[in-house]
Amino acid sequence: MMTALLAGCGWSGADAATSSGGGTIEYWLWDSGQQPGYQKCADEFAAANPGLRVHISQYGWDVYWSKLTAGFIADTAPDVFTDHLAKYAQFVDLKVLRPLDNLAPTSDLADSDYQPGLAELWKGQDGKRYGAPKDWDTIAMFYDRAELKDAGVDPASLNTLIWNPTDGGTFEKLVAHLTVDTNGIRGDEAGFNPRSIRIHGLSSEGSGGAGWGQTQWSAFAGSAGWQATDKNPWGTRFNLDSPELQQTLNWYFGLARKGYMPTYEEIGGANAIGTDKQIQSGIAAMGLSGSWMISTFSKLTDATGAKLDIGLAPTPIGPSGKRASMFNGLADSITTLSKHPDNAAKWVKFMAGAQCQDIIGRSGVVFPARPAATDLAIAYNRDERKLDVTPFTDQVKDKTTFLFPVTSNAADILALMNPRMDAVYIGSAPVSSLTAVNDQLNKLFEVAQ
């Protein structure tokens, strides 16, 4: 659809221009938590580059992408924007991103300056770089210490949990014990009613169809030895038909049918509330979420306004004998609509450099792409928030991460996967129905070839 709209509007790539003047660089991001840090970066950038200034616009996630798409069509897109791995492949295909290698300020970005493997993700099939790494994320388990205490659970025991798709292992035993029905009976006690729950042991963030199960089932599937595509990035054959995935999903969504995890309807369906809100409101005792949520969880309060005591634990060890986490990263991209791309590239180079990365690290909102800046974020959370965030960073140190799938045809993949995964979660379609979806995904690339 976007391709047709661009063609219909007479979009001409390099001939298009933004309305901003040469002295102002328009920059968009979606995370309000990161805006103050990047404003500090923008102030320092302006001080070091007389005559240049950065104007930052922040929009919520959904509005951000729809506004960006409209901007490409109407020639109102920004010079620079925060890009996501789930989106950028399609933008590369549509030729709305400038290769950073072709711009002098960003032509010398070095992969070795960033966390291993991070920079490589932002190179297209043509070998060109389309994004400068800004931060990275992994998955871990947030939990309410008060709920664990009430259940008589030692938080240290969460560090050695094991799961399997047959009986769920010690992980499911814990989830069952943390689940309490409306009569006060726990999920591992006689008389437990799975249809009338006061608090679930594990939260849910939806079916995962919109993002390869990143904060839902990806850690389980990854620790079972599954990978989404034949290669990454730029895979063209999919593995939704693999026994490792289908057995994992059958077990995972089965937790909702046992009452241990909220149903699709309980969390609001397609407009699911996140793990943070579920823990805060007492819907769930613990749940998987991303490192980008650390700041949000650190501010959670209960109904009386008292601060919740939140802890962190690693993802459980799976059938592979290892734990796993999807490794995702954001980057800054320059649009072909930028009237002054060299100025935009100066800003991108600054954001990817040590000075700005250290500012972001000291804010403790995310883990910056540079290792030294990541250490600053770890220290901030330890010293200021009294929160040990190493369950996130140990996944990188211990090499138990796997990469977010980067493919072409991202919009078509989403259109096929999302409703099918929702149906599996709801229970209106069996897990085996993913085999047909897998065939459809493979055909997308067969047609393209």
Do residues 401 and 325 touch, judged by C-beta distance below 8 A? yes
Instruction: Give the chain's length.
Output: 449
Q: Give the pLDDT score at 28.
A: 98
Residue 56 has pLDDT above 80, yes or no: yes
Strand partners, 238: 229
Residue 413 has pLDDT above 70, yes or no: yes
Say which range, 1-15, 69-83, 137-151, has the weakest mean pLDDT.
1-15
Which residue's entry shows tokens 């990047």?
A: 38
Q: Give the pLDDT score at 215.
A: 97
User: pTM score, two decimals?
Assistant: 0.91
Q: Give the pLDDT score at 411.
A: 87
Say which range, 4-8, 52-56, 304-308, has the weakest mean pLDDT.
4-8
Token pair for 98 = 């400038």
- Residue 1 binned pLDDT confidence (cut-offs 50, 70, 90): very low
User: Among 121, 160, 286, which residue's Cα sits nearest to residue 215?
Assistant: 286
- Residue 270 binned pLDDT confidence (cut-offs 50, 70, 90): low
Do residues 49 and 22 touch, judged by C-beta distance below 8 A? no
How far apart (Å, rounded) are the C-alpha atoms in residues 1 and 3?
5
Average pLDDT over residues 328-355: 97
How far apart (Å, rounded) are the C-alpha atoms in residues 338 and 98?
9
Q: Give the pLDDT score at 272.
A: 77
How far apart (Å, rounded) are the C-alpha atoms in residues 180 and 187?
6
The larger pLDDT score, comparing residue 377 to residue 271, is at 377
Peptide bond into 233 cis (omega under 30): yes
Using alpha carbons only, what angle is made at residue 110 by residues 107 and 116, rounded to the nearest 5 degrees? 145
Q: Give the pLDDT score at 12.
A: 36
CA distances from 286 to 149, 267, 303 (A): 13, 14, 18
User: Among 160, 156, 98, 164, which residue's Cα sits nearest to residue 126?
Assistant: 98
How far apart (Å, rounded) are the C-alpha atoms in residues 217 and 407?
20
Average pLDDT over residues 95-108: 97
Percent of the chain with pLDDT strictly greater than 90: 88
User: Among 172, 195, 80, which residue's Cα sits nearest to residue 130?
Assistant: 80
Domains of the chain, with CATH numbers?
A: 13-135+330-386 (3.40.190.10), 139-326+406-448 (3.40.190.10)
- The DSSP symbol for 257 reads H
Instruction: State the virtual CA torsion across 186, 146, 263, 247 in degrees, nearest 10.
Output: -80
Q: Give the pLDDT score at 117.
A: 87
Average pLDDT over residues 316-342: 97
Strand, coil or helix: what is 436? helix
How far apart (Å, rounded) are the C-alpha atoms in residues 26 and 344?
8
How far apart (Å, rounded) are the C-alpha atoms in residues 19 and 118?
33
Give 219's contacts (C-beta < 8 A, 6+ positions apart).
139, 288, 315, 316, 323, 324, 325, 326
Q: Give the pLDDT score at 201.
A: 98
Residue 190 has pLDDT above 60, yes or no: yes
**What's the distance, CA 220 to chain centroid?**
16
The larger pLDDT score, comparing residue 2 to residue 84, is at 84
How far apart (Å, rounded) are the C-alpha atoms in residues 369 and 219?
21
Token pair for 31 = 């995370």
How far apart (Å, rounded) are the C-alpha atoms in residues 45 and 39?
10
User: Among 163, 285, 158, which residue's Cα sits nearest to residue 217?
Assistant: 163
**What's the distance, CA 351 to chain centroid?**
20
Say which range, 109-123, 229-243, 264-278, has the weakest mean pLDDT.
264-278
Residue 19 has pLDDT above 60, yes or no: no
Q: What is the Cα Rg of the chain in Å?
A: 22
How far apart (Å, rounded) are the C-alpha atoms in residues 414 and 218?
16
- The DSSP symbol for 238 reads B
Q: What do you get for the CA distance between the two ends of the chain, in Å?
A: 20
Q: Give the pLDDT score at 22.
A: 61
Residue 447 has pLDDT above 90, yes or no: no
pLDDT in tens, 128-173: 999 999 999 999 999 999 999 999 999 999 999 999 999 999 999 9
pLDDT in tens, 285-306: 999 999 999 999 999 999 999 9
Token pair for 3 = 């391709």
**What's the distance, CA 398 to chain centroid?**
20
Do residues 365 and 389 touch, judged by C-beta distance below 8 A? no
- Residue 223 binned pLDDT confidence (cut-offs 50, 70, 90): very high
Which residue's entry shows tokens 């969460």?
A: 158
Residue 320 has pLDDT above 50, yes or no: yes
HSE (side-chain half, CA atoms, 13 Å) at 292: 17
Average pLDDT over residues 314-325: 98
Do residues 232 and 157 touch, judged by C-beta distance below 8 A? no
List % helix, strand, coil for the chain (3-state, nearest 5).
45, 15, 40
Residue 18 has pLDDT above 90, yes or no: no
- The DSSP symbol for 318 reads -
Average pLDDT over residues 229-245: 96
Token pair for 231 = 């290669």
Question: What is the average pLDDT value for the chain, to the nearest integer?
Answer: 93
Give 164's contacts (C-beta < 8 A, 6+ positions apart).
318, 319
